[in-house]
Amino acid sequence: MPLPDINRICVVLVSTRNPLNIGAAARAMSNFGIRNLRLVKPFDPGFREARSAVGAAATLQDARIFASVAEAVADCTLVIGTTGGRDRHLDNSLRRLQDAAPLVKKETAHGNVAILFGSEKRGLSNDDLTRCHWLLHIPAQEDHLSMNLGQAAAVCLYEISRHIGVTHSQTSQPDQPTPAITEEIDRLAAVWFETLFASGYVKPGAGAITEEKLRRMVRRMNLSTPDTEVWMGMLRQVLWKLNH
């Protein structure tokens, strides 16, 4: 059975404004042995020189830049959003960090895991949240939930690396099929949307809401790659027929 692999974790910083926070996150990553840093639309192109990245220059140099969250997490099978708040994300379930860490560990045995941190001011957008399988929060004081980005990253990576670092004897499980990566899910949702449009289910004008809703529904299906391929084949045929 495959073992958990910390190299399958990537930290995704979305629209971070302050390059010192990017450097601080990189430093925490180095402290806890996580190398894969991805940046979505960083505000300041000078982030690679952030002085706060003490001992983490390599992590910062190797950071990859993406134009969207969708592209940044395309090869991931589990996408987790971090949030300080509690009540606004009704569509995503919310887990405490200590409950989330074992799930991250488990997933790294077979797929890539993305941990998203939103911008300092606004956190993750609603559109970013539709890319997330679920959310995690660091339990903090009700009257002071807002954490500094670098500190939140350090706490998350500490807890996750602590879980992965513990070597439990593995219990054998039947071979699970490979979970679908985000890119596959998004492609499936897109073909579904096209099909619904061709069928008249989606009315012109109501497109954006339906597409987002659809993406969430498809994500909730917890599809494997083989199943995704079968669904795609079916839908393409249905779509072809609708258009002819």
Pick from 61, 88, 209, 240 the residue near a second copy by CB under 8 A.
Answer: 240
Smallest distance from a second copy to CB 71, Å: 26
Contacts to a second copy from residues 76-105, by CB under 8 A: 86-87, 90-96, 98-99
- 76's enclosing H/E stretch is strand 76-82
Which residues contact residue 165 at a Cβ distance below 8 angstroms, ignoring those fewer than 6 apart? none
Contacts to a second copy from residues 164-203, by CB under 8 A: 165, 167-169, 171-174, 176, 192, 195-196, 198-201
Segment contacting a second copy (CB under 8 A): 10-18, 103-111, 125-133, 163-171? 163-171
Using CB under 8 A as the binding rule, whether residue 28 contacts a second copy is answered as: yes
Pick from 15, 18, 21, 30 the residue near a second copy by CB under 8 A.
Answer: 30
Using CB under 8 A as the binding rule, whether residue 225 contacts a second copy is answered as: no
Q: In whole angstroms, give the CA distance from residue 59 to residue 38.
A: 10
Size of the site for a second copy (CB under 8 A): 74
- Amino acid (1-letter code) at residue 105: K
Buried b / exposed e over 24-63, threshold 16 CB at 10 Å, is: bbbbbbbebebbbbbbbebeeeebbebebbeebbebbeeb
Contacts to a second copy from residues 117-156, by CB under 8 A: 137-142, 144-148, 150-152, 154-155
Question: Pick from 28, 11, 26, 221: which is nearest to 136 by CA?
Answer: 11
Smallest distance from a second copy to CB 236, Å: 9
